[in-house]
Amino acid sequence: MDLTRLTAVRLVEGYRKGEFSPVEVTRAVLERAERVQPAVNAFVRLDVDTALEQARASEARWRRGEPAGVVDGVPVTVKDILLMRGGPTLKGSKTVSAEGRWDEDAPSVARLREQGAVFLGKTTTPEFGWKGVTDSPLSGVTRNPYDLSRTAGGSSGGAAAAVAVGAGPLALGTDGGGSVRIPAAFCGVFGLKPTYGRVPLYPASAFGTLAHVGPLARDAADAALMLDVISRPDARDWSALGPVSGSFMDALGGGVRGLRVAYSASLGGQVAVQPGVGSVVRRAVEALAGLGAYVSEADPDFADPVDAFHVLWFSGAARVTQRLGARERSLLDPGLREIRGVGARVSALEYLAAVDVRMDLGRRMGAFHERYDVLVTPSVPVTAFEAGVEVPRGVRGMGYRRWTGWTPFTYPFNMTQQPAASVPVGVDGEGLPVGLQVVAARHRDDVVLRVGHALYEAGVAEGCRPVDPAAH
């Protein structure tokens, strides 16, 4: 049995039955992580000794029949944007000092720790999570396990790559404009951006209420298991939602029969989608209809809000780098340095005008979801492209300069704060993963997870292959 291939749900079942132990599993995934790290670069830090110590404590609890929680002994990775006590959180930046006490967990990390998770280490991110690919001046380039010449996506690229290669079944990521869903699509894993506030966040993001915390996992059931843990309240986040009634795991069943599904292939012709992506997504949508969903081709009523998003995002980039002096700014990723300059010139009235666009977009999507339970689109209109660049050559040729040019399906739903997931539904002609995005009304994370789970149960969604980039 290859322990690196098992889901978190299966690992917990195995611990309960005594089939294998948390120590055996942790050793296997650490060996896997160390083997692929030189090729993929998914980690900024592997905490081998600490992970094994946590695994031994978990093993003792399971032997006593007293697990600490539903993820006791499950290996987890944490994106290096989120605080995890015991080591620095450098956020992909040479401007962040490693010195300090580093004795506090982010809320999601704290909840996992309380439940007995085993922390393998921190995963890579672009500097301050600013773009949709993962490379940074501090950590270098993170590569796609399916093709090492291509990007893993971002900004939670290390998290997605770690899950894809079998270096832990669960990963914590963040998503301010697609940063969970983009790498999930590129790496062939499941990624969920929950409703804003569903997972408490502390410290607050400089990008404000665009930034969500969410799971990347081997399948929808694993994401639901993780969300049951990380959605628990934390007083440090004043904007967090109240406690969930019931369990996301319990809500997975029931299938999609009778669900009202709107399928938008291109947001009303606004998005140019690669044919290989479009055909794979359409087959998956047809499968939803075959499972009993009422599928209609329908586009949400909004124009591309990219200009308003840029005002909000670039202002956040200016804020996160505000205290840096001239020497420190010279160390920044050149793209980040450019957009922070733009953001620093945004006026209060321009910012509030962007907020108006955001509020209108939320109103339009609220009305849309009175007619449809979910919206389905491609997660990203392209598959993974050349590593180390912000924009693929084909899109750059269309006049786009920023990562938002090739992510028009993702960032609108950060503006509306809706739950959205990327589900791996196949590969294109080059063998590169394709993601299908499922979007539901605010607070209906359960519906997003149920649709994803139904696609896995039907064999439409594909669990990530444990590829071995180290062998390439």
Residues forming the active site: 79, 155, 179
Two tokens at 177? 């404009």
Residue 63 CA to residue 60 CA, distance in Å, equals 5
**Cα separations in angstroms, 9 against 83, 222, 230, 252:** 25, 6, 16, 13
Beta-carbon contacts of residue 160 (< 8 Å; ≥ 6 apart): 152, 153, 171, 173, 183, 184, 186, 187, 189, 191, 216
Alpha-helical segments (H) within 142-274: 157-165, 181-187, 220-230
The count of C-alpha atoms lying within 13 angstroms of the C-alpha of 397, restricted to the half-sphere facing its C-beta, is 4
Contact yes or no for 460/435 (Cβ under 8 A):
no
What's the CA gap between 382 and 394, in Å, rounded? Answer: 10
H/E stretch holding 173:
strand 170-175
Rounded Cα distance between 223 and 254, Å, is 17
Q: Which residue has the tokens 């955001």?
A: 358
In angstroms, what CA-CA distances link 224 with 252, 324, 338? 8, 39, 38
> Among 375, 353, 259, which Cα is nearest to 307's?
353
Q: DSSP assignment of 60-81, as one string?
A: HHHHHT--SSTTTT-EEEEETT
The DSSP output letter for 468 is -
Judged by DSSP in three states, 116 sits in coil
Q: 76 to each of 8, 162, 461, how far by Cα in Å?
A: 9, 10, 22
Which amino acid appears at position 55 of this protein? A
Provide the residue count of the chain: 472
